Amino acid sequence: MQKIFLFFSLFITFNAFSQTADKPFIRLQQPLKEKNSIKYSRQFIVGATCKTCSLTVNDQPVKVYATGGFAYQLDLVPGDTTFNLIATASDDKTISKKVSYSYSLPNPPDTVKTLTIARIETFPEGNLYLQTGDKIEFKVKALTGCTVKAGNTILYELPAEQTAGMPGIYQGEYTLQQTDNFENYQFPITITGKDNRNYTAKTKDSFSVFAPVTSNIAITKGRLAYLEYGLGDDRLGGAKIGYLDSNVVLNITGKIGPHWRVRLSKTRTAYIPDDDMITFLPKGAFVPESLTTNWRVYGDDKFDYVSIGLFEKLPYQSFQLVDPSKIVVDIFGATNNTNWIKQFESIKEIKNVDYEQLEDDIVRVTIELKHPQPWGYQIYYDKNDLVIKIKHQPQDLSLKSLTIAVDAGHGGTNNGANGPTGVYEKDLTLAIALKLQASLQKEGVNVIMTRTTEQFVDNHARILFYRDSVPDLLVSIHLNGSEDPIHVSGTSAYYRYIGFRPLSHFIYKRMLELGLKEYGNTGSFNFMLNSPTEFPNALIETLFLSNPEEEAKALDENFQQQMVDKIILGIKDFLASCKEKVQ
């Protein structure tokens, strides 16, 4: 049934244009509108025509790939330009489509010419809950040569060489005092001219002194609470420090936009980005800090354990080191009170455990491993004992002895990238993932799949599923996309933790054997499916679906199988590398 559904789905998706192969048509993916106002001179016309058609743009021939896909670059001059696309079938029947662009050069920066305030920026951005000693930075664009104040704080005009020649840029900062007691306060920004006339505007964002109704102590809730280093953001979210267990105690010191600010230690601040990740405790809750108590290092038939006694559940972070392979865990709010670490002969993967009082309130735990390749670890609390659970390297490193997770990226309402012919990434990742599943099963592998049909699976559900099933390895299949469909192409692989880099690198090197362009093996990748520490994992961006040449490869079932074969060879290379002697 699964194969029938897949064939039917792929038949509809991949062969939507073959039914009219001799009938000319033009279907554009970019631009989507006939008339377009744009800010950049370089543009692309991307779409599909019939597979046997020829295509011209303003009488210039355009390459049409076997799929019917095409991409054409425009280098526009200011003004209005119209392009006429003509598709011609083998019987000389034609069809045309017009696309027009209105390109205007950006206006030069405009100075403020009257006694007014054109723009107010505050840093950090967003509504802020702050405490004594915090700083608010102001940047204001106004009439040059005036006196500008934020409340009673003077803002100083920057020299033109620091503002790209733009006069009238003022900036300064305000430090919260103990006497401050404001709520939802919008700072008045006042400009005073040389004739002593005034103009006042208020900040868009509001400011409050952080005074929680209950307390400033909170605990994490759920299984996916995580800390971020700072307030930066991109399409993958803010840079994550790592996930925390539930009921970990946090010292909340303010709020910036949607992010709660967390004091991890005297010198470390982090942010937790969602109200749904924490619950505030009643007044009287203690700031998270603890002495260490008993340490135990022991093992069973699958895992080794490092257990560290604490009086409460403190926040932590972990990272990996290589050459030699180590797992490092920092415990925030902890002070060492340990005179010995019990290490039992039942351990099989841990070579040694040591600690260091890194700062007054940070204990660093260093776990040296016996094998160069870490196979994953989990950090959690057993009552108030912090446990670091380390997976043994499999005794049998043959492919057939492993459980491998295969993740088909996107699905359902999450289409992912799309190609010139209109095919979606979600359909191709599923096709490749199913081929990978079949090929691995022929090798005797136990395969766990995120999805085997066209359906939506939330990333939170994916990460929890794999945390619970704990495969030996995870490979996530994707296709890349770019706004430039002509010059950007190639294959790439991604990992987050340095100890898991070999898996992605071995697969990446095998993919390059297909003659694909290098797009890099990228580390510290802030994607959810790369975030588990429990097992080595790699995300493979097989091809650029936005590129018509690589879209044609991605739609070719033979080439899909060739990519699958290379991924498996890469996994085998990884396993072979793990057969090295212990460190």
Calpha distance 58→414 (Å, rounded): 36
CATH of the domain at 94: 2.60.40.10
Helices (H), 128-251: none
Axis-axis angle for helices 557-577, 425-442 (nearest 10): 50
Q: Quick check: 11 pLDDT over 70?
A: no
**Is residue 311 domain-shared with residue 413, that is, in the same domain?**
no
Here the tokens at position 188 are: 């008045």
Here the tokens at position 297 are: 């290092």
Domain stop point among 258, 280, 302? 280
Backbone angles phi, psi at 422, to 5 degrees: 100, 0
Domain range holding 347?
Answer: 290-391
Report which of residues 437 and 257 the model is more confident about. 437
User: Cβ(169)–Cβ(158) under 8 Å?
Assistant: yes
Here the tokens at position 68 are: 């019917």
**Is residue 316 domain-shared with residue 225, that is, in the same domain?**
no
CATH of the domain at 558: 3.40.630.40
% pLDDT > 70, the chain? 96
**Does the predicted model carry a pTM greater than 0.85?**
yes
What pLDDT is attached to residue 560? 98
- pLDDT tens, residue by residue, 408-453: 999 999 999 999 999 999 999 999 999 999 999 999 999 999 999 9
Report yes or no on 285 lying in a domain: no
**What band does 381 get if pLDDT is binned at 50, 70 and 90?**
very high
Report which of residues 259 and 275 the model is more confident about. 259
Report yes or no on 256 lying in a domain: yes
Domain stop point among 375, 391, 407? 391
Domain stop point among 280, 298, 314? 280
CA nearest neighbour of 257 among 204, 211, 316, 179: 204
**Is residue 407 domain-shared with residue 555, that is, in the same domain?**
yes
Report yes or no on 583 lying in a domain: no
Q: Quick check: 526 pLDDT over 80?
A: yes
What pLDDT is attached to residue 15? 47
Q: Quick check: 277 pLDDT over 60?
A: yes
**Counting Cβ atoms within 10 Å, is residue 576 exposed (0-12), middle (13-18) or buried (19+)?**
exposed
Report yes or no on 97 lying in a domain: yes
Report yes or no on 339 lying in a domain: yes
CATH of the domain at 276: 2.30.30
CB within 8 A of 337, min separation 6: which ones?
291, 292, 293
- pLDDT tens, residue by residue, 66-110: 999 999 999 999 999 999 999 999 999 999 999 999 999 988 878
What pLDDT is attached to residue 237? 85
**Is residue 456 domain-shared with residue 550, that is, in the same domain?**
yes
**Is residue 348 domain-shared with residue 407, that is, in the same domain?**
no
Report yes or no on 109 lying in a domain: no
**Is residue 82 domain-shared with residue 153, that is, in the same domain?**
no
**Is residue 407 domain-shared with residue 554, that is, in the same domain?**
yes
What pLDDT is attached to residue 582? 76
**What band does 311 get if pLDDT is binned at 50, 70 and 90?**
very high
* CA quadruple 322, 324, 329, 335: dihedral, nearest 10: -140
**Is residue 381 domain-shared with residue 466, that is, in the same domain?**
no
**Is residue 516 domain-shared with residue 408, that is, in the same domain?**
yes
CATH of the domain at 317: 2.60.40.3500
% pLDDT > 90, the chain? 88
Q: How many other β-carbons are positioned within 10 Å of the β-carbon of residue 87?
A: 26
What pLDDT is attached to residue 106? 84
What pLDDT is attached to residue 213? 59
Calpha distance 182→208 (Å, rounded): 5
**Is residue 383 domain-shared with residue 446, that is, in the same domain?**
no
**Is residue 355 domain-shared with residue 294, that is, in the same domain?**
yes
Written as one letter, the residue type at 389 is K
CATH of the domain at 162: 2.60.40
Report yes or no on 112 lying in a domain: no
CA nearest neighbour of 47 among 504, 553, 546, 571: 546
Task: Return mean pLDDT, the chain.
Answer: 94
What pLDDT is attached to residue 120? 97
- pLDDT tens, residue by residue, 549-574: 999 999 999 999 999 999 999 999 99
Q: Quick check: 7 pLDDT over 80?
A: no
Give the 3-state secondary structure of residue 146: coil
Write the CA distances from 511 to 95, 157, 473, 525, integer angstroms: 40, 55, 18, 19
- pLDDT tens, residue by residue, 181-220: 889 999 999 999 999 999 999 999 999 998 765 689 999 9
Report yes or no on 5 lying in a domain: no
Place of tokens 């959810």: 528
What pLDDT is attached to residue 5? 43
**Is residue 375 domain-shared with residue 463, that is, in the same domain?**
no
Domain count, the chain: 5
Q: Quick check: 359 pLDDT over 90?
A: yes
